[in-house]
Structure 1
Amino acid sequence: MAAQNNTPDRQAPSRVPDLGTLMVDTGHGNRTGEFRGLAGPYWSLRPVSGGSEWEAVPERVRPPTPAERLTAENARINARSRRGLEW
């Protein structure tokens, strides 16, 4: 049996995530974004603090670690606070 490469940035995703799911794109410097949909063979992700979407190769996208999730949630809250948005 051949050995498998189980590094986090090369694992194939099991399925397409739900809209708004937080994901980490290892192909773009571990950028964290919300899944926004499909763009051909790519996944469209959007920064949690706002900004332009980018396309990610699905095989290079993984769920965030607890620390990455916390950092992303803090960025989202700070961005909302700067814009004066209500909860």
Structure 2
Amino acid sequence: MTTTDREQTTLRPEECEVGSTVWDIGKDLPGVVMGHVGGDRVQLRAVAGGREWDASRLRPLTSREELSLHLAARNDATRKGL
């Protein structure tokens, strides 16, 4: 999937389920959906934790991005001895 294809596939905030991982187009970062704000935004938190932020321009993760996030989380857990 090219960058252009990724940018054309967008999600409406109400389509995002709490706990799902999406890409914030505005910040160019992945985040876990923590909740909905009004009808036009969701609150996201970084996959590794941290502060939440509001986002309205979203897209689903590509398979490669999703795999990369899971691998990074597993590597982090291994480094911490978990």
Structural mapping, 1:3-18, within 5 Å: 8=7, 11-13=10-12, 15-18=14-17
CA distance in 2 between partners of 1:72 and 1:55 (Å) = 20
Contact 1:9 1:61 in 2 (8 A): no
Q: CA deviation at 1:14?
A: 7.7
Counterpart amino acid of residue 80 in structure 1: A
TM-score by length of 2: 0.72
Match of 1:70 in 2: 67
1:1-87 alignment runs, 5 A limit: 8=7, 11-13=10-12, 15-29=14-28, 31-40=29-38, 41-57=40-56, 60-85=57-82
Percentage of pairs with the same residue: 32
CA RMSD of aligned residues (A): 2.5
Structure 1 residues 81 and 50, CA gap change in structure 2 (3 angstroms) = farther
Which residue type is aligned with residue 21 of structure 2? L
Give the number of the structure whose alpha-carbon radius of gyration is greater: 1
TM-score (norm 1): 0.68
Unpaired stretches in structure 1, ≥5 consecutive residues: 1-5
Moved over 6 A (4+): none
Give per-residue Cα distances to partners, 1:9-56, cap 9 Å, x unaligned.
Answer: 573528432221110011102x01111111233211111112211111
